[in-house]
Structure 1
Amino acid sequence: MAVLLAAVLAACRGIAQEPLQPGAPISGDTAVNTAASESGPGGIPTDPLGIADAMGRLFTAAFVVASVIAVWSFIERLVVLRRRRVIPKAFVDRFLMHLRAGRMDKAEALAICQQNQSPMAEVFIHGVRKWGRPSVEVEQAVLDGGERQVTQLKKGLRVLNGVSTLSPLIGLLGTVVGMIKSFNDIATAGAMGQTQTLANGIALALLTTAVGLIIAIPAMAAYLFIAGRIDSTVMEMDRLGQELVHLISAEALRDRVVATTNVTEPAMASRPRKPVVEKP
């Protein structure tokens, strides 16, 4: 946001200080605009300090606070939403592999998840506590755990959304206040009909709207980016949660026992029987 604001201010400064072409006639309006853009009392500021002074302390403070909050929230969500923190690949792969192989019981699975303490592990904990229950109960437990983790992942979204929504409104309020002040100054000073004075006053008033939009647009882009990352993360957590349900529910455990029995019985039947020797 700061980089974008600096680029806009630099562009404004370049436009305001653009030299005239050689040989071009200098009209009265051009001379007035050039003087105003350089250092005249009615000139429009193009440097950050001049813009801050033109907007006033109240609106400048509001925009600075909004920018800091938006940047801090965006960086904090990027750190929280790292995939290796939310869904650790090594832990998930090893955990599900042991469950598929039947080399882990309820107590072991619960202990491993509690040691990991990642959001995905917290979802697994809710499901493991329903080990051996019908699939409906296990699935509901996984969903309950997932909702709690999703709430934690979305914690900073409202902040970004609020900044992107309120910044233009604050800028619009500053513009309205500035235009009221400008018209009041013109009326009290008896400067009616001087278009240059009126134009400078309106331009100064519009600065707050421009700054508000400069803050709001990156904040909205950050909000959409974070929301998209959360959606993809939640979809992956839901897929892994459903796989857990299919591994530890009562139906899954019963099917595994039946499959193991079917494999063991033919093996036992294929063994050659020892001949029975009758004693004389």
Structure 2
Amino acid sequence: MLAIFQAAGWPIWLLLIASIVATALIIERLMTLRRARIVPPNLLDEVVRVYRSGSITPDITGKLETSSPLGVVLSAALRNVNAPREVMKESIEEAGNGVAHTLERFLTTLGTIATLAPLMGLFGTVVGMIEIFGSQNPAGANPAQLAHGISVALYNTGFGLAIAMPTLVFYRHFRALVDSYVIQMEQQAVRFVDIVHDSRK
């Protein structure tokens, strides 16, 4: 494997770095974007219980805010329980935008790697081809040696595609997951607003 990397030329080392970065980001996102960590079950019920008990304190809202992304959104609503519905919804929307931005962390980088990897592979192949044909003597070119050189250069393209395909799959998966979490948090926050304002009637 090392011999292939050495023969394929310097561009393949850039692809190796890209693959390491992509793998690290995928592992980090898999660990971070777990449902129980983002949208903990029964958290809304606990917040409703706190609201109905009348024991809302800065300490409670602070702990709620640091507990999870859903906690950030619900704590924004909890701080404005005495405000009009529109104010509560605005605070929820503002908190939700911040949470969505946090959940999308590294996804742009992952998408960039998925897009660039095939191009980097193609670039490496072109560089390899240029070097191969530039080093050939027109009068005494060896077809077998030329074919071997071309096959080695094509490793760049193959490696670039091998990086891009799984990276793109995970990028799309994480994007869909973030969108799903944002919708769930919005639904739970709206439900809390409805509970608060129904209790005022």
TM-score in same-fold range (> 0.5): yes
Q: 1:60 to 1:174 in 2, by over 3 A?
A: closer
Unmatched runs of 5 consecutive residues or more in structure 2: none
Aligned residue number for residue 240 of structure 1: 188
2:200 to 251, 254, 274: 254
Structure with higher Rg: it is: 1
Alpha-carbon distance in 1 for matches of 2:21, 2:45: 37
Aligned residue number for residue 15 of structure 1: none
Post-superposition shift, 1:94? Answer: 1.9
Identity percentage of aligned residues: 30
Alpha-carbon distance in 1 for matches of 2:126, 2:12: 15
Aligned residue number for residue 166 of structure 2: 218
| Residue-by-residue CA offset, 1:88-130 (whole Å, 9 max, x unaligned) | 214332223454xx3235x34x543321312111111222222
Partner SS state of residue 191, structure 2: helix
Structure with a larger share of its residues in helix: 2
Alpha-carbon distance in 2 for matches of 1:86, 1:254: 30
Number of residue equivalences: 199
Q: How does 1:189-208 map to 2 (within 5 A)?
A: 190-192=139-141, 194-208=142-156
Alpha-carbon distance in 2 for matches of 1:79, 1:211: 26
**Counterpart code for 1:172:** L
| Residue-by-residue CA offset, 1:121-144 (whole Å, 9 max, x unaligned) | 111122222222221111111011
Q: Contact 1:247 / 1:253 at 8 angstroms: preserved in 2?
A: yes
Post-superposition shift, 1:253? Answer: 4.1
Q: Contact 1:160 / 1:223 at 8 angstroms: preserved in 2?
A: yes
| Residue-by-residue CA offset, 1:36-71 (whole Å, 9 max, x unaligned) | xxxxxxxxxxxx122101112x32321221111111
Q: Contact 1:128 / 1:248 at 8 angstroms: preserved in 2?
A: no
Residue 81, structure 1, aligned to residue 27, structure 2: no
**Counterpart code for 1:179:** M
Q: Contact 1:161 / 1:223 at 8 angstroms: preserved in 2?
A: yes
Alpha-carbon distance in 1 for matches of 2:33, 2:54: 29
Alpha-carbon distance in 2 for matches of 1:149, 1:63: 32
Alpha-carbon RMSD across the aligned residues, in angstroms, is: 1.9
Give the TM-score taking structure 1 as reference length.
0.66
Residue 209, structure 1, aligned to residue 138, structure 2: no
Q: Contact 2:61 / 2:79 at 8 angstroms: preserved in 1?
A: no
Aligned residue number for residue 137 of structure 1: 87
**Which of 147-156 and 223-232 deviates more?**
223-232
Give the TM-score taking structure 2 as reference length.
0.89
Q: Contact 1:126 / 1:141 at 8 angstroms: preserved in 2?
A: yes
Unmatched runs of 5 consecutive residues or more in structure 1: 1-47, 256-280
Q: Contact 1:161 / 1:219 at 8 angstroms: preserved in 2?
A: yes
Aligned residue number for residue 51 of structure 1: 4
Alpha-carbon distance in 1 for matches of 2:32, 2:60: 22
| Residue-by-residue CA offset, 1:161-191 (whole Å, 9 max, x unaligned) | 11111111111111111111122222x3523
Alpha-carbon distance in 1 for matches of 2:8, 2:159: 10
